[in-house]
Amino acid sequence: MSLETHFSDRLVARIQQIESRLVVGIDPRLDRLPAEISADDPEQALSRLGEGVIEAVAQHAAAVKPQVAFFERHGWRGWRALETVCAAAARAGIPVILDAKRGDIGSTAEAYAEALLGDEPGTLGCHVDALTVNPYLGSDSLEPFLVRVRDHGKGIFVLARTSNPGGAEFQCRDDDAVPIFEQVARSAERWGQDSLGECGFHGVGLVVGATYPDDITRVRQAAPGSILLIPGVGAQGGSIEDLAAAFDDSGLGAVVNSSRGIVQAFEQDPERPWQEMVQEAARDKQLALQGVSSAG
């Protein structure tokens, strides 16, 4: 993967090349494996599932988003599987958005940036294009990640408005003149100015749940240069129709995540080859998202 270019330009090029705004979330669970994959060896099971999903969605996913928790769940062997899966995606030319939601300060934030967005052999960062981060600790806590965005062509997606029912509790309080999520979005627009790509977007994206369409509009207005990463479509209740405000009139500006709806698609028909089912689910979602743009 070339890091000479801005992350935003690489992602937008990929979106246009395969005509997909779909991010496939990889959240592997050992209790929900295809019959062909045994859970006896957790590391091998996680690796085989992840690699199989990547192969199946290679022409349909603008990016893949491995969820670190489901690998961490299996200790160091899970971490080794995570490295295998991220490397497989990188080899297939699919951008990797690592969903780790890290956030810390000072030398600890620097260590996370080295670990997950760096380029040292033996670290995950070599295979990762972008990382999800948590803004609660403030601008200075994000600086080590922003250095990788500005100078090394990496991207981050900052949590703004999350898709869960309790997301408003701190992010969007009734009495706040400016809710925190909107302040985060405004800040992201500022943080991103040094990584503006030729595509018109920068490397500091934002996570905004599909479950709160009005807040997508507010985030879009506060951060016109951020690429939005939108979870919460499907199982969590968000609908594709409600996402128009996230996109510009060329249909750019956001990617939409689907995890279980794709990775677990094989459960619908155990008689058919599992990767075929995953591929079909990804293609269906890819096509459904092709119609979405702010031009209606």
Active site residues: 101
State both tokens at 132: 């999800």
* Sign of the alpha-carbon dihedral angle for 208, 22, 96, 24: positive
Please say whether the beta carbons of 216 and 206 come within 8 A: no
State both tokens at 67: 């969820």
Nearer to a second copy, 206 or 292 (CB): 206
Nearest to 12 by CA among 241, 210, 250, 296: 250
CA distance 58 to 279: 9
CA distance 275 to 289: 21
CA distance 54 to 176: 43
Q: How far is the CB of 174 from a second copy (least distance, A)?
A: 11
Residue 242 phi, psi dihedral angles, 5° rounding? -80, 0
Give me the amino acid identity at 296: G
Our CA angle for 243, 103, 146, nearest 5°, is: 75
Q: How far is the CB of 194 from a second copy (least distance, A)?
A: 18
Question: Taking the mean position of all CA atoms in its chain, how far away is CA 77?
Answer: 23
Q: How far is the CB of 46 from a second copy (least distance, A)?
A: 12
31 half-sphere exposure, CB direction, 13 A CA radius: 1
What is the contact surface with a second copy in residues (CB under 8 A)? 27, 42, 67, 69-70, 72-80, 82-83, 99, 101-109, 111-112, 114-116, 122-124, 134-141, 159, 162-171, 173, 175-178, 180, 183-184, 187, 236
State both tokens at 249: 């009139």
Nearer to a second copy, 51 or 99 (CB): 99
Q: How far is the CB of 213 from a second copy (least distance, A)?
A: 18
Q: How far is the CB of 136 from a second copy (least distance, A)?
A: 4
Q: How far is the CB of 158 from a second copy (least distance, A)?
A: 10
41 half-sphere exposure, CB direction, 13 A CA radius: 8
134 half-sphere exposure, CB direction, 13 A CA radius: 12
